[in-house]
Amino acid sequence: MAVGRRDGVRSRTTNRINPYIATTDVMIALVLVFVLMLVSSAVVDGVAVDAADGDGGERLTHILQAAALRAAVDQMPEAFRPVLDSTRNDPAGTQRWRFSGGRLFAPGTSDLTADGRETVRAFGRVLAESSTWRRIRVEGHTRVTQPGELDDWDSSALFASAVVRELVEGAELEPWWLAVAGRGGQVPLEQGRDDPQDERVEIVVEYCMGEQCARDEVQGR
């Protein structure tokens, strides 16, 4: 009889749910949901990803594409390596790289120096070896203009055009993949401050998204 009672106690104890374990499971589930919410709208490896712009598989594709390009850029010589800029409010599926104007152009001109040409070519070769992007937008920027002055649209457009020309002629990228934008002094690196570093070129890599990928493959990209 004693054995039977012990067996009964063991059976009732086994079937009883430990409340501490149950509470822990619930807390873990809540933490996982919170993490997924954060990941659904974030910037990873410099590429903007947003849950509203695609499903989870598409967001993962953008992350992998961005990581691959960043790894390739990290292999460039440090003197030619651009800065990955994740501070801008870019749309989902883009990645922005910043090149200092002082490292690209001869002072007071839009002419690329020898080092500037090699810098652009090196980045262009990295882009040429990647098949994950669909378009490259090259933006030229100048220093902030003073009150009453017009933005220097011409100089910023010339900066961008010089880089695009080198990407086409030096790195052999097809011109229809490239777009030029002259931003003048509209977008300083730091608001309210006149900084020589504002004179720069930014290359925005746009990755294909969903149906765009299939369409671009049909069109040869």
| Backbone conformation region of residue 207, classed left if phi is above 0, alpha if psi is from -120 to 50, else beta | beta
CATH superfamily name and code, 42-218: OmpA-like domain (3.30.1330.60)
How far are the Cα atoms of 103, 116, 138 from residue 198, in angstroms, in the given order? 12, 17, 15
* Strands 133-141 and 200-207, bridge-based pairing: antiparallel
- pLDDT over threshold 90, residue 136: yes
- Percent of the chain scoring above 90 in pLDDT: 43
pLDDT of residue 52: 46
**Per residue in 93-130, pLDDT tens?**
899 999 999 999 999 999 999 999 999 999 999 999 88
What number of H helices and E strands is found in the chain?
A: 7, 7
Tens of pLDDT along 18-34? 554 455 555 555 545 44
Query: Where are the chain's structural domains?
Result: 1-39, 42-218
Checking DSSP bridges between strand 47-50 and strand 41-44, what pairing results, if any?
A: antiparallel
Q: State whether residue 96 is helix, strand or coil.
A: strand
Give the mean pLDDT of 44-73: 66
Look at 46 and 88; give whichever has higher pLDDT: 88
Which range scores top for mean pLDDT: 66-70, 97-101, 208-212?
A: 97-101
Mode of pairing for the β-strands spanning 178-182 and 94-100:
unpaired
- Per-residue pLDDT at 179: 96
Could you give the CA distance from residue 88 to residue 187 in angstroms, rounded to a whole number?
Answer: 10
Q: Would you place residue 158 in the very low, low, confident or very high pLDDT band (cuts 50, 70, 90)? A: very high
Residue 44 three-state SS? strand
Region of poorest pLDDT, from 51-60, 146-155, 206-215: 51-60
Q: Looking at residue 206, what is its pLDDT?
A: 92
Question: What is the share, in percent, of the chain residues with pLDDT greater than 70?
Answer: 66
The mean pLDDT of the chain is 77
Q: What is the pLDDT of residue 139?
A: 97
- 220, 64 contact by CB (below 8 A): no
Q: What is the CA radius of gyration of the chain?
A: 26
**Highest mean pLDDT (candidates 2-11, 41-50, 97-106, 124-133):** 97-106
| Helices 56-74/114-128 angle, 10° precision | 140
Closest of 67, 97, 71 to residue 85, by C-alpha: 97
Rounded Cα gap, residues 75 and 108, in angstroms: 31
What are 99's strand-pairing partners?
Answer: 201
The angle at the Cα of 112, spanning 110 to 115, to the nearest 5 degrees, equals: 150
Q: Which amino acid is at 186?
A: Q
